[in-house]
Structure 1
């Protein structure tokens, strides 16, 4: 029983693929190269014949039109003969040279030990795995694009930080140039001064608590600042020495 058409087509495809893997070129490309080489040689021979005939025709006084017509007919007949015979050569080569009989098993060296019997379920499983790999590749590509965007944003942030760093160094150099203390050192100095003031004020607060001070009228009730200060000094003196001395005028603190 002969092979079914579908099976024959599959076998021919498999043979063609195997030959390509073995020779590293397709059989038809080899045949085309042979035909192109022959055509090139024929054209060279036709050109040489044309030059020879034209030289001889000038000596024999043959009309130029007859020479051209004869050469054209010769080239046409030669091309037709070459095409016909090399069409037969192509068919013969593909059927008898670049083929493997069905009863001869051929296994290429890089196919040794490979199980090529694939069932339908194996194909389905392989398609699933390929689809999974395809999705993973798409996800990896999307992640790569996202990472490149984040890298670009990070580069922008780094450049901004470099600019801020340069500005900070510039301000620091200005402080050194004008003998301005750095901020941490200035804060420490200020803290020490505040602590000194607190140490000086603490005994006074213990000796003269705020609750013992008299309630003073607002400064707007006095005609001048000096009069207001004199009033405060008098009140403080009365608290310390009593009220025997009368009101002190124009006292200075």
Structure 2
């Protein structure tokens, strides 16, 4: 008996969850919107009714004042005047407020019955279909919950497994975003270094064309050496970050030796520069080899 009582609320909760997931909102919110719409119409009616009574009151008061002034001008004396019972504007407002409360009470009482009927007969699903798992929403078609390993699992266990998968996928997405951020930053640094190397190369080509300037130029070995060292340090940072991330997809796509080959080229530049003593001869083989490596 206790198991039957415990399963009925569970089925009702699952039914409500399916309806919320299907419609995108709670079924009770539809009924609340209907009741609110009816109450809004009722409030407008009582407001207009109150305004009509107030206008009539002001009109009657105006007519009575005009009639009284005319009688006084004609010197007519009326004996045994029967005073008519009159109401003030405050009495009218109290009466319309009482009428509004009475209508609101009747609307809520009758629409409570409508709410019970709608939840039991309109916004519902057969319990046997829910319990046996025959109802599946459109976006649940690709979910395979009938595997051999999941045959003895309950709905809560299946839901827990799905939530774990979603969490793993979310972590993988965050990992890929961090990896993309690191690669983007490294790409920006390499673009700056490439632009700087092109500027230096253009300047060196200009010096080659003017022997007078070349004769007065100080050694540029330190400048190129500094540029090469900065390039190698950037490569080492990128390689260390890539090792920490351990992205197998990136390694499979670009290969493991992409950073090592780049480092070897930079080391060659540094050896060529260090082998030169004093000023750099434009026509020397070492200078030409450095230019080739900078391309």
- Specify which structure has the bigger relative contact order, considering alpha-carbon pairs within 8 angstroms and separated by 6 or more residues: 2
Partner deviation per Cα, 1:107-141 (whole Å, 9 max, x = no partner): 35736796656515766765665554444334323
Offset at residue 66 of structure 1 (A):
0.9
Number of the residue aligned with 1:35? 35
Structure 1: stretches of 5+ with no match in the other structure:
189-253
Offset at residue 79 of structure 1 (A):
2.3
Tell me the distance in 1 between the aligned counterparts of 2:18 and 2:141: 13
Report 1:1-253 matches (<5 A): 4-61=4-61, 62-103=87-128, 107-108=135-136, 110=138, 116=145, 118=150, 119=153, 129-130=165-166, 132-172=168-208, 175=210, 184-185=282-283, 187=284
Task: Please report the RMSD computed on the Cα atoms of aligned residues, expressed in angstroms.
Answer: 3.8
Match of 1:4, SS state, is: helix
Partner deviation per Cα, 1:179-218 (whole Å, 9 max, x = no partner): 98x9554x59xxxxxxxxxxxxxxxxxxxxxxxxxxxxxx
**Residues 177, 8 of structure 1: alpha-carbon distance in 2 compared, 3 angstrom cutoff:** farther
Tell me the distance in 1 between the aligned counterparts of 2:135 and 2:168: 31
Offset at residue 24 of structure 1 (A):
4.8
Aligned length: 185
Structure 2: stretches of 5+ with no match in the other structure:
62-86, 216-279, 286-295
The answer to whether the 8 A contact 1:57-1:67 is kept is no
**Residues 131, 29 of structure 1: alpha-carbon distance in 2 compared, 3 angstrom cutoff:** closer
Larger Rg: 1 or 2? 1
Offset at residue 50 of structure 1 (A):
1.6
What TM-score, normalized to structure 2?
Answer: 0.49
The answer to whether the 8 A contact 1:50-1:71 is kept is yes
Offset at residue 27 of structure 1 (A):
1.2
